[in-house]
Amino acid sequence: MSVIDVGGTVREGEELDIQAVTAWLKQQNVDVVEPVQVTQYSGGASNWTYRLKYSNADLILRRPPKGTKAKSAHDMAREYHVQKNLAPFYPVLPEMVALCQDEAVIGCDFYVMKRIEGIIPRAKLPPELNFSEAQVHELCVNVIDKLIELHQVPYVGTELEKLGKGDGYCRRQVEGWDARYAKAHTINVPSFKYVRKWLLDHIPADSKTCIIHNDWRFDNVILDPKHPTQVIGVLDWEMATLGDPLMDLGSALAYWVEDTDNQIFKATRRQPTHLKGMFTRQQVVDYYLQKTGLNTDNWTFYEVFGIFRLAVIAQQIYYRYFHKQTNNPAFKDFWIVIHALHIRALKLIGLQKIEANELAQKYIAKFKELMPK
């Protein structure tokens, strides 16, 4: 069935020593029978993801990329244990198989998990699905509901409690991403000076603390091939932690490209959020707040933070390309996207300032009165 997500050819310079991996798996008493076919998933902009299709087992291997990297973002052991410990409470996680922390095997840590067979909704839904507007809407709601479900996981008294650093998550995030941007800056991208200062000046208290995914996108969920509006898997837990759910939502919406967005954003779209039947970003926020009972009087902060954070992630990846630590051509034009994200953040801050300014609101109201009907 062609709608099932499969890997592609392994990129040059990112080859996997499959003999070494197979030998190590056997040492861990993992039953694998050769021959094995190795393919690579193109979606992983940070950690590299491979499919190992043995004659008796279908496995996924995750490893960090070569080159400099944000230490915590590529911690294989952490990613492995988060999924293992979360699985009893959140039954859409892949089954963990084995974790390797012996760099003598392939030169870095890696882990292996069972593959969940299904559909990954990327920029374009497979045409074979032929979704109606109602089915698109159902998919949209189901994906948001899975995020809400994650935010309700009872973590207190479990191993998951060790993920957090206590109160002050919002401040740590703003300060942390600010420092990361400064470190990864290249000469061809903006400084984000005004946006960074605005974020630091508007940090709210944490709305609550819960398990957050921190990279919630449609292309990180797996859909049931038989019932393709249903989510059967959630992937990419490398940044999961204990934190503020509104920060998680703000970060998720940075990827939520609407049909009315400008051409640069449409060109970067990685998920099918432009389709008729999908919520707008504002509708997602309204739905989430209504379902969870949370509220905020400064949603702009979370949205601007999400955009800045995405700019930092893109810049960290582009930094590796700029300094020739990766040759993946997909990263060549990331600097243009970073400029577009900068403009988008400035616009949101400007809009929020106008909405908060009583005099500006009076002028707008007066202007509307004078406009011909």
Q: What is the pLDDT of residues 298-324, one digit of tens each?
A: 999 999 999 999 999 999 999 999 998
Binning pLDDT at 50, 70 and 90, where does residue 223 land?
A: very high
Q: How many Å apart are CA 341 and CA 254, to the nearest integer?
A: 9
What distances in angstroms separate CA 173 from CA 185, 190, 242, 256, one per listed residue?
18, 20, 12, 21
Binning pLDDT at 50, 70 and 90, where does residue 82 land?
A: very high
Mean local confidence (pLDDT), 278-303: 97
Q: What per-residue confidence (pLDDT) applies to 135?
A: 98
pLDDT digits (tens, 9 = 90+) for 95-107: 999 999 999 999 9
Beta strands in 163-315 (DSSP E): 210-212, 221-223, 231-234, 241-243
Q: What per-residue confidence (pLDDT) applies to 306?
A: 98
> Hey, is 54 helix, strand or coil?
strand
Q: What per-residue confidence (pLDDT) applies to 7?
A: 83
Q: How many Å apart are CA 287 and CA 249, to the nearest integer?
A: 11
pLDDT digits (tens, 9 = 90+) for 17-26: 999 999 999 9
Q: What per-residue confidence (pLDDT) applies to 44?
A: 53
Mean local confidence (pLDDT), 337-363: 81
Q: Residue 312 has which token pair? A: 């930092």
Domain annotation for the chain: domains and CATH numbers: 18-114 (3.30.200.20), 127-362 (3.90.1200.10)
pLDDT averaged over the chain? 91
pLDDT: is 171 or 370 the higher one?
171
